[in-house]
Amino acid sequence: MRKNAAEAGFDCTFVPLCLDGRNLHLSLEQARGTRSDGRYLTQMDSAAVILPTDGRPPIVINDRGEGNAWTEARPAMQGQRGSWAPAMAEALLELGFEGARIGVSGLRRGRVTHTRAIEGVINHSSYVEVVRRLPNATFEDATDVVGFVRYIKSDEEIAALRRGAAIAAAGIEAMVAGARPGVPLPELYAQVMERMLELGSEYYPLALYAGPMGGVRPRFEDPPIDRVLGPDYLITNETDAVWGQLIAQELQPILLGPIPDTWKPVIELQRDMFYAGMEFMKPGVTFGELIDFTNDMGRQRGMLSLILIHGRGHGNDGPLLTPQHRREEHIRSVVVQKGNVWVWKPIAYSADESIEFSWGGCVLVTDRGGEQLVDRRPGLVSIQ
């Protein structure tokens, strides 16, 4: 971080108080993602951090000033209960940054972190007060200063994500074992969550939807209420587990019936996309090249293929590419690097786009390309 900040010309990197997602209508990943920089740096659930570029120790601020084995902290609430702004402003002044160039992480969406937060994640009122208290300082976006440190995972992070992916895969096994026509969807949801929690995952809700195959695609429900599985229901899920504070995800569609012949070419295309993409994503490849490679595969078979990928870590990691963000220009120049971990789940469509299929899970970038963190085989599970 110090190196990135120095190259950007910042005197310090400032991770301010971020939005408290527990009080907002956000998905849990979005809520976790707003505070992810502070958690990444301190191992605390909610913390502000000021890291001088010149090598001096950081100042960490949290609710009560309680430190941990990772770092010490000072309280935000001292003097003015409920107000973080004075504590953050005074820390910046104490470090001599009254006229400094200050890089602020989370001020805007980054290329590889806070990817869903176009307008940033910081708490506006407290940030404005800090800026008011330092009228001679310059505050500029530094989301990528922190983001590109988080972008490459350490051996410890990879081990945590591998454990989380294994727990998520165990949750999927519980889902396959319990999914039958007549089973209430809330009961299936509870069985999967129980399995992952007993294996040590932090609580992270299962994203789950189910409905008749070929019908109107239902929305994810968290948790699903008043729904019962029926014959030929397609169950789609994003199964997340958290180990060592890092979020892993595995995806496995399940069909309560035989696979129709019309689906088989689409499933085969998606499988080939998954493996070809893993082979292609070697260090040095740009995301622009990966986007074009993936999106072009379907044309060779008269079908449609689209990239779907997002980073794994503390939350809202990127780069984020979905069918809605299929050619994001601001990340086309980002380079794939050894140690990246993301959820790789490209989407295949039939020629008329009436059939859509996606499967995937956590993939680690090595010198040879992508490597699954947990060994699973692409496809649609058929329960008859």
DSSP string, 216-262: PPPPPBSS--S-B--TTEEEEEEEEEEETTEEEEEE--EESSPPPGG
Measured in residues, the chain has a length of: 384
C-alpha to C-alpha distance for 339 and 7, rounded to whole angstroms: 22
State the pLDDT at residue 22.
Answer: 45
Per-residue pLDDT tens for 221-236?
666 778 899 999 999 9
Contact yes or no for 36/29 (Cβ under 8 A) = no
Residues in the chain predicted with pLDDT less than 50, given as ranges, are 21-25, 80
C-alpha to C-alpha distance for 319 and 245, rounded to whole angstroms? 19
Q: Quick check: helix, strand or coil at residue 90?
A: helix
- Residue 30: predicted pLDDT: 54
The stretches of the chain forming alpha helices (DSSP H) are: 2-7, 28-34, 36-42, 85-94, 124-133, 143-150, 155-178, 185-198, 264-280, 287-297
pTM of the model as a whole: 0.91
pLDDT of residue 25: 42
Tell me what pLDDT residue 117 has: 80
**Does residue 169 contact residue 376 with C-beta atoms inside 8 Å?**
yes
Amino acid 281: pLDDT: 97
Q: Give residue 116's pLDDT.
A: 79
What digits encode the pLDDT tens for the residues 143-201? 999 999 999 999 999 999 999 999 999 999 999 999 999 999 999 999 999 999 999 99
Residue ranges and CATH numbers for the domains of the chain are 2-150 (3.40.350.10), 155-382 (3.90.230.10)
Q: CA Rg, the chain, in Å?
A: 22
Q: Quick one: pLDDT at residue 217? A: 63
